[in-house]
């Protein structure tokens, strides 16, 4: 929508979108992509078997946050992830779920804030880099000490950054 109807938006705020298709031709990140594919595949298999709790824990521990992270999540986050497991399975079965062409966004000339955590899985950095190169007014902000969910782990810092961006571009 941002590429086709940019007139409807004042700006964009994007945090670590898993647009891994953007990296398909990059041999430097091929091992990381394969690792993500295998890990997500394991989660998908577990969901398909009916083990939503185990799949949610595996996703957190091996795909997005790292070992020991599941135990640190509040119970309500865990429940949400377990409840959403069937949706994740449906999304994973969609062959076009992560398809994205940079041409779609090159014409978006409004402000864009692209964020990532410096503790996030390393595969997100190249994705953010590609988006930043394609968007004329993109700003990249990296949250020190944060991983894939800074809104949960560093809510004050994350909210402050978003508010500042919106104020600066309003």
Instruction: Give the C-alpha separation, 155 to 161, whole Å.
Output: 10
- Alpha carbon 39 to chain centroid distance? 15
Q: What is the pLDDT of residues 56-72, one digit of tens each?
A: 999 999 988 888 889 98
pTM confidence score: 0.84
Write down the pLDDT at residue 147. 87
Question: Is 145 within 8 Å of 118 (Cβ atoms)?
Answer: yes
Quote the mean pLDDT of the chain: 92
Q: What is the pLDDT of residues 109-132, one digit of tens each?
A: 999 999 999 998 889 999 999 999
CA torsion angle for 148, 164, 166, 116 (degrees, to 10)? Answer: -20
What CA–CA distances, in Å, run from 127 to 39, 124, 133, 153, 158?
Answer: 18, 5, 10, 22, 20
Q: What is the pLDDT of residues 34-93, one digit of tens each?
A: 998 899 999 999 999 999 999 999 999 998 888 888 998 889 989 999 999 999 999 988
């Amino acid at each position: 929508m941002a590429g086709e109807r940019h007139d409807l938006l004042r700006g964009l705020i994007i945090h670590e979108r898993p647009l891994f298709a953007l990296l398909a031709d990059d041999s430097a990140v091929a091992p990381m992509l394969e690792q993500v594919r295998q890990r997500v595949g394991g989660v998908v298999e577990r969901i398909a078997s009916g083990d939503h709790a185990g799949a949610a824990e595996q996703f957190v521990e091996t795909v997005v946050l790292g070992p020991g992270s599941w135990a640190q999540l509040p119970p309500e986050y865990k429940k949400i992830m377990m409840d959403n497991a069937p949706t994740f399975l449906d999304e994973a079965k969609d062959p076009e779920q992560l398809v994205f062409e940079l041409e779609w966004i090159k014409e978006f000339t409004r402000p864009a804030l692209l964020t990532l955590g410096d503790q996030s899985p390393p595969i997100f950095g190249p994705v953010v880099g590609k988006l930043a190169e394609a968007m004329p007014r993109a700003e990249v902000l990296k949250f020190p000490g944060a991983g894939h969910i800074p809104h949960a782990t560093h809510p004050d810092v994350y909210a402050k950054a978003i508010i500042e961006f919106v104020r600066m571009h309003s």
